[in-house]
Amino acid sequence: MTYDDRMIDKRVVDRNILKGLVDPNQLKRQIDGLPDSEANCVHVSVENQGVEDDEVYDDDDDIDEDDEDETDGGPDEAGPAEG
């Protein structure tokens, strides 16, 4: 048995295994039977011209530390209701 690509798409395969629609052992045999396509690949090299190394790996969300303390004065920011 060979599974349809839609059944074993990586976004849904776990769900289909849990539902019993896909047998994990059969899936493994199907994947192991796929040909190696390494010979068809093209290797590329990308250079970051004009970009500093620290800019390439900057994971900051560009929010200043001072901005974190500011509030918009909305209802979530108000103190407990008096009554």
The pTM score is: 0.46
Helix (H) or strand (E) holding 55: helix 53-56
Tokens at residue 70, please? Answer: 């500011």
Which amino acid, one-letter code, is at 8? I
Q: What are the structural domain ranges in the chain? A: 1-34
- Which residue intervals of the chain are DSSP H helices? 13-18, 24-32, 53-56
pLDDT per position in the chain (83 positions), as tens?
889 999 999 999 999 999 999 999 999 999 999 999 989 999 898 877 766 666 556 565 666 555 555 555 556 555 566 65
